[in-house]
Amino acid sequence: MTESQLVHLQWLVLSSTAVVSVLLGALFHRSHFCTMGAVSDAVIMENFDRLRQWALALAVAILGFGCMAYVGLINPLQSIYATKDLLWLSSLLGGLLFGWGMVWASGCGSKTLVRLGAGNLKSLWVLLVMGVVALSAMKGVLAVGRVQYIDAVKIEMPHGLFAGEWLSNYLDVSLHFGMLVAACAASLLLLVWVLKDQNFLTLHNVLTGILVGLVFVGSGGFLVF
């Protein structure tokens, strides 16, 4: 890759990130799409609308990922998640810490960004602390303990973590086809749960879930094209 091609690729990544960020920001602001909000609505008020929005967005994103993998636009094995190690302790501990952090910060990371855009100074401090601690956990002081003690507790998966890899191995089909089948199955299960509540099927709820999912699919498409 020449220097000019590298510069072009850098600008492509930055511009596509900017487009995706603007679209997501507008969607989150108008729809109040939020991970913590979805969970708190379900637990406290027994209202599953926002949780179903989240599940619908996930179903669309998974299906889009599977379709792009099937037609060869992306290679799932080049993802940072394509590993044979199941870091179950890291995932469990990280999920608990992230959940507590969302409650104390009054929202998830995306909600914090939306509030910051509206001028909320508390969100500025939350975002700064979140960024510093995340960077420290990835490559800084906290990374030493994470790698030596937490990530060391793992289960080695013989065929990788993707369900498509397991299907490809056991059904003796191509990886791309296995990814498509796994994506369709996961999306179908999510859609069954999403659509079982007829009260959820309003234009606002359905459109929010579909658009958020499509934006995530489109973020991969921007880099491909």
pLDDT of residue 84 exceeding 70, the answer is yes
Distance set, CA 59 to CA 64, 161, 214, 216, 223 (Å): 9, 18, 10, 11, 21
pLDDT of residue 223 exceeding 50, the answer is no
**Whether residues 30 and 134 fall in one domain:** no
Domain boundary among 95, 124, 156: 156
95 burial (CB, 10 Å; 0-12 / 13-18 / 19+) is: exposed
Domains identified in the chain, total number: 2
- In terms of residue numbers, what domain contains 134? 85-156
**Whether residues 11 and 73 fall in one domain:** yes
Enter the pTM of the model: 0.84
**Whether residues 152 and 177 fall in one domain:** no
**Whether residues 4 and 68 fall in one domain:** yes
Beta-bridge partner residues of 156: 85
**pLDDT of 122:** 87
| Residue 220 pLDDT class (50, 70, 90 cuts) | low
Q: 158: which 2 tokens?
A: 């013989």
Query: For the segment 29-39, what is each residue's pLDDT rounded down to a tens digit?
Result: 888 888 888 88
* Under 8 Å between Cβ of 25 and 117: yes
Angle at 153 between CA 81 and CA 162, to 5 degrees: 25
Q: 157: which 2 tokens?
A: 């998966």
**Whether residues 57 and 108 fall in one domain:** no
Domain boundary among 123, 138, 156: 156
Domain boundary among 156, 178, 208: 156
**Whether residues 202 and 150 fall in one domain:** no
- d(CA 132, CA 140) in angstroms, rounded, equals 9
H or E stretch at 156: strand 155-156
**Whether residues 25 and 57 fall in one domain:** yes
| Residue 224 pLDDT class (50, 70, 90 cuts) | very low
**Whether residues 137 and 73 fall in one domain:** no
Mean pLDDT of the chain: 86
Q: 27: which 2 tokens?
A: 């969607």
**Whether residues 41 and 60 fall in one domain:** yes
**Whether residues 3 and 70 fall in one domain:** yes
Query: For the segment 165-212, what is each residue's pLDDT rounded down to a tens digit?
Result: 888 888 888 888 888 999 999 999 999 999 998 899 999 999 999 999
Q: What mean pLDDT is predicted for residues 218-224?
A: 58
| Residue 62 pLDDT class (50, 70, 90 cuts) | very high
| Cβ-based neighbour number of residue 75 at 10 Å | 13
Q: Which residue matches tokens 């921007």?
A: 222
Q: 56: which 2 tokens?
A: 């619908």
Query: For the segment 100-117, what is each residue's pLDDT rounded down to a tens digit?
Result: 888 888 888 888 888 888
**Whether residues 25 and 120 fall in one domain:** no
Count Cα atoms within 13 angstroms, Cβ side, for 128: 5
**Whether residues 50 and 90 fall in one domain:** no
